[in-house]
A and B are shown apart, each in its own frame.
Chain A
């Protein structure tokens, strides 16, 4: 079956602009996660959804970052007033549900965001 898909694969924007990054999880996965990965670092947690609600948004760096998952499937990560420090690869992952034994997270290919 299809894996996690993310669009666009690359996004170049100017400082101060607004961007949206989309994630389409594996069909049937109820949990969805967003991470950010800088060069030479491991992924860093941003937010996760269980169904439509954000169950934990403690990783969002500030209020310029926001994510939604209105129908419990596709999610959009939104970044307002982008800054050069936002440049990174944004990874999305999904899992069957949250909980021991079925929490293996499967990642998409990522969106590389470059803020000029």
Chain B
């Protein structure tokens, strides 16, 4: 089963509004990453937050991590139509020794209406 679960599955907002996506996971992690994927395209890495960090910013992106609740959130401020895409959280964790894997959630489909 997939480690991360995003909420909501789909989100539709107006340009200029903020978009918040949440992610929950099940096991201890090394770090958590957020990716964007435009329809039919590859993955674009957005931001990485280490397990000992609580908040991180990158441009219009703000990520929080609560390891006690095993949850993360991605906030996109002042959204633009070009932000329309699927957003995935993914957790980097060890399955034993140096065997690290990245496990993805099912994603949130964000639609930003002009």
Partners in one complex: no
Binding site for B on A (CB under 8 A): none
